[in-house]
Amino acid sequence: MPRDPRFDLLFEPVEIGPVTAPNRFYQVPHCTGMGYRRPNSVAALRGVKAEGGWGTVCTEYCSIHPSSDDEPYPTASIWDDDDVKAMSMTVEAIHEHGALAGIELWHGGASSANHYTRETPLGPSSRPAGVNDPLQSRVMEKADIQDLKMWHLEAARRAKRAGFDIVYVYAAHWYLIHQFLQPSNQRTDEYGGSLENRARLLKELIIETKEEVGDTCAVAVRFSASAGGDDNDQDTAEPREMLELLADLPDLWDITVHDYSYEMGTSRFVPEAGLEKTMSWVKSVTNKPVVSVGRFTSPETMLRLVRQGVVDLIGAARPSIADPFIPTKIAEGREDEIRECIGCNICYVGDQTGTPIRCTQNPTMGEEWRRGWHPEHIPEKGSDSSILIVGGGPAGLEAAVALGKRGYDVALTEARRELGGRVALESRLPGLAQWGRVRDWRLTMIEKLKNVDYFLESEIDEGQIREYQPDHVVIATGAKWRRDGVGRWHDGPIPGWDTTNVITPDDILAGFQPEGPVVVYDDDHYYIGGVVAELLRRDGLEVTLVTPANEISTWTRHTEEQYRIQQRIVGLDISIETCMALASVDADHVVLESIYTGKTREIATATVVMATSRTPQDALYHRLVGQMSVDRIGDCLAPGTIATAVYSGHKFARELDTSVPAPVPFLRDIRVV
């Protein structure tokens, strides 16, 4: 299909200093959990973005000098010629598709503990360093500031040599330059105190970087448009004054906010274009192009923001992760095929855990080089087998799409009246509506595949499967929450679990309305306990959220949500009991036990919701295995995140009738010196 001419505006070139972006699609710097450790993997990942039509593709934060490393969070680095060689692979992969390559030069200052290099962290003043590390930064002397500027210029030179088109001066997110900009920088020399003094380092770095590499490279500044505050009422006064001071010095303003939980907030807390109000003033104080992010997946929103003069370039990290081919799909009039980011932040877990990035919506993310997976292409089928998939949750749906694209004849049966499995149900919980996109995209694709049929309200058993006689059966029947409380803390059932007042999140998802007061017992530690508590509280019930962990929903630290979840729970007047295990359940009360002292306490309750762990629904698999060709995928194989279920379905589909290398099933980025 031809492109809708309304979207032509998005495909206009944009001049950025000495270079020209071929269109307005701009992949802003984002972490990958790969950094300098996995140069081949990261080059292939960025290359796929360029192939998908992003006119500009940037690296992740890239350390300029060993005086700053962020381990265990993986950064890129441009410390020496080895790094130049490694980074040029990324540049080549991006240039191969006609896109501009940007590099985000970075120094963490006091925000890095330098666990790897063991160098003393630097800062405008002596402040606690890293993330709760028992270590402080050392105050930068004048000579250190001169060194820093020299390192930055040397890094810029190396970046130019590696072939980059855009070089960043990174002045946001609490890193070193941002530390200088902050009012807390009360140095008594010309680099602290007044606003002009605090902005001096940034100003000098912009000017000097332009002098050094500005003949061929654009110089971009990543800058925070606010000094904090509520999402809808951010304090932009001082950032505005600073930006006015520097207005036309850089070639590009990359505008963000420094609170990650707002900048890259999950869809539960921050809507699409969430930063618009906070940053829409920027273009009025500069003549230079402006890029900003907002989890943009709707071409209409992108168009509106450019038309209204909010941005010149559509910045994206997550949308380009969930669908590296968004620009191509818009260009080809296939907007309906955009695999929209659901705003779950599973992609951020890679950075937080020091492991390669993955994505709920895009199972090929992070697998471009090591497994050779492509987000849009998949090898043709390896046989004429017919395949029956049982279960239409994320795993079954993804398997159906991927197998269908390979050319297999696929039939999918689903017991319920709707497809989507857990995402169909969970997307009705407060704030999780966008999770339904996991189902929606797959349904759109299935409707386009003539060789994939699905049948609703079709619970199937082993007798019917034998009658049907498919060549392969894939069991994707999911998992159910356990009622007995077995989880991380409890190896055995919690006494009283079988009383009628104990229910599970599955009951809530099925529409059961419990009586209050309610105790939600969360030994799962991801989102379900908190979100069920929120739902019940909003229904007017008195709710207590109990967990053996130190804080509620503790795993959501990895998705940058924990603070916001706890803030919401507290704001809703839900009582919180941390470091407490559920010792027993009675008809009208529960007994809680301190995990430290064993001391017990009773709480009156009418209902207990057990969110502890899940049981795979694999009975059908066990009845068939050994009798026919059968596999299980998703939560039925091992309960996990939606991302692991989608991945499991995709992996099965990719690998069917192929040979997978053994014992290591993928390539490894190993540099032997």
| C-alpha span between 325 and 26 (Å, rounded) | 12
> Is residue 48 part of the contact set for ligand SF4 (CB under 6 A)?
no
390 binds, among ligand ADP, ligand SF4, none (CB under 5 to 8 A by kind): ligand ADP
| C-alpha span between 499 and 516 (Å, rounded) | 16
347 binds, among ligand SF4, ligand ADP, none (CB under 5 to 8 A by kind): ligand SF4
Question: Which stretch in 113-121, 273-281, 364-372, 473-481 sits in contact with ligand ADP by CB under 6 A?
Answer: 473-481
| C-alpha span between 642 and 513 (Å, rounded) | 25
Q: Would you call 534 helix, strand, or coil by DSSP?
A: helix
> Is residue 221 part of the contact set for ligand SF4 (CB under 6 A)?
no
In 3D, which of 29, 21, 112 has the Cα closest to residue 72? Answer: 112
Residue type, 251: D
The residue (of 235 and 461) whose beta carbon lies closer to ligand ADP is: 461
> Is residue 413 part of the contact set for ligand ADP (CB under 6 A)?
yes
> Is residue 422 part of the contact set for ligand ADP (CB under 6 A)?
yes
| C-alpha span between 505 and 527 (Å, rounded) | 11
- Pick the binder of ligand SF4 from 94, 313, 322, 549 (CB under 6 A): 322
> Is residue 360 part of the contact set for ligand SF4 (CB under 6 A)?
yes
Q: What DSSP letter does each residue of 84-117 carry, written as one string?
A: HHHHHHHHHHHHTTT-EEEEEEE--GGG---TTT
> Is residue 359 part of the contact set for ligand SF4 (CB under 6 A)?
yes
The residue (of 87 and 528) whose beta carbon lies closer to ligand SF4 is: 528
> Is residue 634 part of the contact set for ligand ADP (CB under 6 A)?
yes
- Pick the binder of ligand ADP from 17, 102, 289, 394 (CB under 6 A): 394
359 binds, among ligand SF4, ligand ADP, none (CB under 5 to 8 A by kind): ligand SF4
CB of 209 to ligand SF4, least distance (A): 31
341 binds, among ligand SF4, ligand ADP, none (CB under 5 to 8 A by kind): ligand SF4
The residue (of 58 and 476) whose beta carbon lies closer to ligand ADP is: 476
> Is residue 345 part of the contact set for ligand SF4 (CB under 6 A)?
yes
460 binds, among ligand SF4, ligand ADP, none (CB under 5 to 8 A by kind): ligand ADP
Examine the residue annotation and report whether 527 is marked as an active-site residue of this protein: no
| Spatial contact of 139 and 123, defined as CB atoms under 8 Å apart | yes
> Is residue 485 part of the contact set for ligand ADP (CB under 6 A)?
no
CB of 22 to ligand SF4, least distance (A): 23
> What are the distances in angstroms from CA 365 to CA 34, 320, 342, 445?
12, 10, 15, 19
> Is residue 477 part of the contact set for ligand ADP (CB under 6 A)?
yes
Helix H or strand E segment including 463: helix 462-468
> Is residue 346 part of the contact set for ligand SF4 (CB under 6 A)?
yes
477 binds, among ligand SF4, ligand ADP, none (CB under 5 to 8 A by kind): ligand ADP
The residue (of 192 and 393) whose beta carbon lies closer to ligand ADP is: 393
| C-alpha span between 650 and 396 (Å, rounded) | 9
- Pick the binder of ligand SF4 from 293, 342, 401, 443 (CB under 6 A): 342
The residue (of 266 and 413) whose beta carbon lies closer to ligand ADP is: 413
Tokens of 568: 């919401």
Q: Would you call 26 helix, strand, or coil by DSSP?
A: strand
> Is residue 645 part of the contact set for ligand SF4 (CB under 6 A)?
no
Question: Which stretch in 24-32, 146-154, 343-351, 651-659 sits in contact with ligand SF4 by CB under 6 A?
Answer: 343-351
The residue (of 89 and 347) whose beta carbon lies closer to ligand SF4 is: 347
> Is residue 318 part of the contact set for ligand SF4 (CB under 6 A)?
yes
- Whether cis (ω within 30° of 0) applies to the bond prior to 616 is no
The residue (of 25 and 180) whose beta carbon lies closer to ligand SF4 is: 25
- Whether cis (ω within 30° of 0) applies to the bond prior to 22 is no
- Pick the binder of ligand ADP from 247, 415, 572, 638 (CB under 6 A): 415
> What are the distances in angstroms from CA 137 to CA 134, 165, 206, 509, 534?
10, 33, 24, 49, 40
| C-alpha span between 518 and 535 (Å, rounded) | 12
CB of 412 to ligand ADP, least distance (A): 9
CB of 155 to ligand SF4, least distance (A): 29
β-pairing, 19-21 with 14-16? antiparallel
Catalytic-labelled residue, pool 73, 175, 191, 408:
175
> Is residue 478 part of the contact set for ligand ADP (CB under 6 A)?
yes
Tokens of 451: 């060789």
| C-alpha span between 422 and 481 (Å, rounded) | 11
Binding pattern to ligand ADP, positions 364-393, x when CB under 6 A?
A: --------------------------xxxx
> In the sheet where 589-594 sits, what is the strand order?
580-585, 589-594, 600-604
- Pick the binder of ligand ADP from 270, 395, 401, 532 (CB under 6 A): 395
CB of 321 to ligand SF4, least distance (A): 4
| C-alpha span between 494 and 255 (Å, rounded) | 51
- Pick the binder of ligand SF4 from 62, 153, 206, 347 (CB under 6 A): 347
The Cα diameter of the chain in Å comes to: 84
Q: What DSSP letter does each residue of 552-592 carry, written as one string?
A: TTGGGGTTT-HHHHHHHHHHTT-EEE-SEEEEEE-SSEEEE
What's the DSSP call for residue 628? B
Interface with ligand ADP (CB under 6 A), residue total 24
Tokens of 159: 């970046």
Question: Which stretch in 72-80, 157-165, 356-364, 419-427 sits in contact with ligand SF4 by CB under 6 A?
Answer: 356-364
Residue type, 99: A
Residues whose CB is less than 8 angstroms from the CB of residue 306 and which lie 6 or more positions away in sequence, other chains included: 9, 10, 24, 312, 314
> What are the distances in angstroms from CA 166 to CA 78, 99, 202?
14, 11, 17
> Is residue 620 part of the contact set for ligand ADP (CB under 6 A)?
yes
Residue type, 88: S
Torsion of CA 321, 366, 355, 613, to 10 degrees: 80
CB of 264 to ligand SF4, least distance (A): 8
CB of 497 to ligand ADP, least distance (A): 22
| Spatial contact of 549 and 578, defined as CB atoms under 8 Å apart | yes
Question: Which stretch in 224-232, 270-278, 342-350, 605-613 sits in contact with ligand SF4 by CB under 6 A?
Answer: 342-350
Q: Which residues bind ligand ADP (CB under 6 A)?
A: 390-396, 413-416, 421-422, 459-460, 476-478, 617, 620, 634-636, 645
Q: Which residues bind ligand SF4 (CB under 6 A)?
A: 318, 321-322, 341-347, 359-361
Residues annotated as catalytic (active site), given as ranges: 175
